[in-house]
């Protein structure tokens, strides 16, 4: 095999290996519509405070989070902030330490400053996940969460 024929094979080899580096990506909707639900308190509140039935029919994405185990277990992970091309990204290490379901990582799209969490498990094969940071509501754009 000559050197020139080796270089003709190189793009095919790169393409073959790039197929195995496919990232898993999900998008958090920028806004969700909600229905009113009654909220009750476990105990009385001190006077003159009273429960206000204030309700928002639309909630905007306020953040994205990663937890070890389901979000209701309150095992929130703190991301590392990295600057890429002038933009801040939140990065989480998600390599699994065991095969126990409680050690599985979950991504959550968080709305209305923690009023509603939409969550799903991150694939077990993922080792690192990231999302571009945003301030305020992301308007009408979805926000991507990418793992590899």
**Band of pLDDT at residue 18, cut at 50, 70 and 90:** very low
**Band of pLDDT at residue 124, cut at 50, 70 and 90:** very high
The stretch 57-83 carries a mean pLDDT of 94
Domain chopping of the chain, boundaries: 23-35+52-147
3-state secondary structure of 129: strand
- Tokens of residue 134, six digits: 């945003």
pLDDT at 28: 94
pLDDT at 19: 43
* Position 1 pLDDT exceeds 80: no
pLDDT (tens digit, 9 = 90+) per residue, 35-52? 877 777 778 888 888 878
3-state secondary structure of 44: coil
139: left (phi over 0), alpha (psi -120 to 50) or beta: left
* Position 87 pLDDT exceeds 50: yes
- Reported for 95-101, long-range contacts at CB under 8 A and 24+ positions apart, including other chains, are 95/126, 95/127, 95/128, 96/124, 101/69
The stretch 105-118 carries a mean pLDDT of 93
């Amino acid at each position: 095999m000559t050197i020139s024929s080796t270089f003709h094979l190189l793009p095919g080899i790169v393409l073959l290996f790039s197929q195995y580096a496919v990232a898993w990506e999900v998008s958090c909707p920028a806004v969700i519509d909600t229905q009113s639900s009654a909220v009750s308190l476990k105990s009385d509140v001190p006077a003159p405070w009273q429960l206000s039935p204030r309700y928002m029919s639309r909630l905007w994405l306020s953040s994205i989070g990663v937890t070890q185990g389901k979000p209701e277990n309150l095992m929130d992970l703190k991301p590392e902030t990295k600057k890429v091309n002038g933009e801040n990204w939140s990065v989480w290490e998600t390599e699994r330490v065991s095969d126990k379901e409680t050690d599985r990582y979950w991504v959550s799209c968080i709305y209305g400053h923690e009023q509603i969490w939409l969550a799903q498990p991150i694939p077990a094969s993922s080792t690192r996940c990231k999302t571009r940071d945003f301030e305020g509501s992301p308007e009408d754009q979805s926000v991507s969460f990418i793992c590899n």
